[in-house]
Structure 1
């Protein structure tokens, strides 16, 4: 597994934190929510929606992860991230002005977007060319919803067809695409889903992250029939509609610690910019990061929190 040089991240008991720690890792009150840009703003608006609390400490930290993504997006000029929480913005009008909608949350039958008539609201945004990004569990849809999502981002996780093991994905090569600018091959452990449901016609679809999973992780009929095959864990989609909208699916993001990896961060930020039709710099988007941010804005789930631990000093 790739070593994260900036910090080695471990779950540690709360009492192990420094006594003089001034940051409450569970204080989310300082994150600005549903704040729009000034009236004269001419750039791109990114609506970043964090799901409700899910899983244990350090896993599915949707709120903290979205807060990190907003800080990263602010490093690109002309981009204004607007964060909402609990799976859906209180102000639904934010959808109408978004250039890209990002969802990082629980999916399947509990997916916020499949409740009531919300898919019709999102279809309206898709039809005008709005970008659509789903991270981790948010790519998971039931088949009756997934058929629509295929038109939004070109693929989705289908229960009992796709699979979601924890494994070390070794990304050895990357395609030439704006999303991969500045991204180097990397290896990182995550709950990388694979065996996605893709359409028969893959025009407009570009695999972005691919790796060879262990065959012993193939536990659905579809994935069992693909032993030894390279699998796709992230993909870009250029929609064939008149508005030429774009979508991106990314199956990683289970472990909060992975935001400390520069390549992991950059491929996601590049993708958000690309779906919003922002020109991605040749060297990739700026993704400066303080590892201490991993221990901020966490959901209060139990007795653990992330504590950055510096690598040992080299021997003289």
Structure 2
């Protein structure tokens, strides 16, 4: 991806946020781009409505940027960008290799009302990437079971936390997702203390969280005694992970992605692009 094209993808969508906000509820739209030929890799980006002010939780603009970068990497990639919610016509999922979800989580998560469809994708071995708030689903719910099955981990309220902090990733594991990626530091809303499956999970990004991440009181997203103990002990906190699903299929979770401008960081962006290619190649 050229520098000029990346800058356009990063910053031009911000000017449209005000106009979108004035138009009421977002219509669900579908955009198909790239290869349509035998042997193609098909990736669906499921982007929920933008939920914050300009520059944060820009699910549509972030998905557009990542989809364009993915197509630039390979002429045999077809991307399908779904904006605003779950598509009414689920035929777009036919022949799917990977589903990338970038949406609000918790009670607003897009899979909550579509678990039958989501689980059918998992049964078929479709790879799943969950970005930022999308890693959170209601604790103890069928959605939590599905997310654990899909990616091997999720944000569990009253266990996981969502502070803003500068994470310094000083070392990376040897894994296809980290190919060409150098250690880096980045300010973001890095969630941590995820609830993980016990096996087949590889921690991709880990950093020691500073004491400032525990400045807030205890709450569903802000803190609890267990995570306070881990931070006080200086235990590395996992912010991205890869998962090999038993029986076939792969998953990846990335808790960064709050700030749209962070997609201009080469290592952060390319790590996520590597992950999309990895989950799609099973």
TM bucket (normalised to shorter chain) is 0.7 to 0.9
Cα deviation for residue 217 of structure 1 reads 1.5
- Say whether 1:223 aligns with 2:213: no
TM-score, normalization: structure 1? 0.75
Select the structure of larger CA radius of gyration.
1
Tell me the secondary structure at the aligned position of residue 57 of structure 2: coil
Q: Deviations over 1:281-315 (max 9, x none)?
A: xxxxxxxxxxxxxxxxxxxxxxxxxxxxxxxxxxx
Identify which of 253, 256, 263 aligns with 1:252: 256
Cα deviation for residue 253 of structure 1 reads 0.3
**Equivalent position of 2:176 in the other structure:** 178
Cα RMSD (Å):
2.3
Answer whether contact 1:236 1:249 (CA < 8 A) is retained: yes
Tell me the secondary structure at the aligned position of residue 133 of structure 1: strand
**Equivalent position of 1:104 in the other structure:** 102
Q: Deviations over 1:253-289 (max 9, x none)?
A: 00011011000110000000000017xxxxxxxxxxx
**Equivalent position of 1:25 in the other structure:** 15
Q: Distance in 2 between matches of 1:23 and 1:45?
A: 24
CA change 1:39–1:71 in 2 (3 A) is: closer
**Equivalent position of 1:75 in the other structure:** 72
Cα deviation for residue 111 of structure 1 reads 0.5
Tell me the secondary structure at the aligned position of residue 153 of structure 2: coil
Q: Distance in 1 between matches of 2:131 and 2:36?
A: 30
Answer whether contact 1:195 1:222 (CA < 8 A) is retained: no
| Greater per-residue helix proportion | 2
Poorly superposed stretches of 4+, deviation over 6 Å: none
Answer whether contact 1:165 1:193 (CA < 8 A) is retained: yes
Tell me the secondary structure at the aligned position of residue 157 of structure 2: coil
**Equivalent position of 2:200 in the other structure:** 204
CA change 1:171–1:23 in 2 (3 A) is: closer
Tell me the secondary structure at the aligned position of residue 249 of structure 1: strand
Answer whether contact 1:162 1:222 (CA < 8 A) is retained: no
**Equivalent position of 2:132 in the other structure:** 136
Q: Deviations over 1:123-143 (max 9, x none)?
A: 111011100111000000112
TM-score, normalization: structure 2? 0.84
**Equivalent position of 1:44 in the other structure:** 41
Q: Distance in 1 between matches of 2:34 and 2:170?
A: 39
**Alignment: residue pair count:** 252
**Equivalent position of 2:58 in the other structure:** 61
Q: Distance in 2 between matches of 1:268 and 1:58?
A: 19
Larger RCO (CA under 8 A, 6+ residues apart):
1
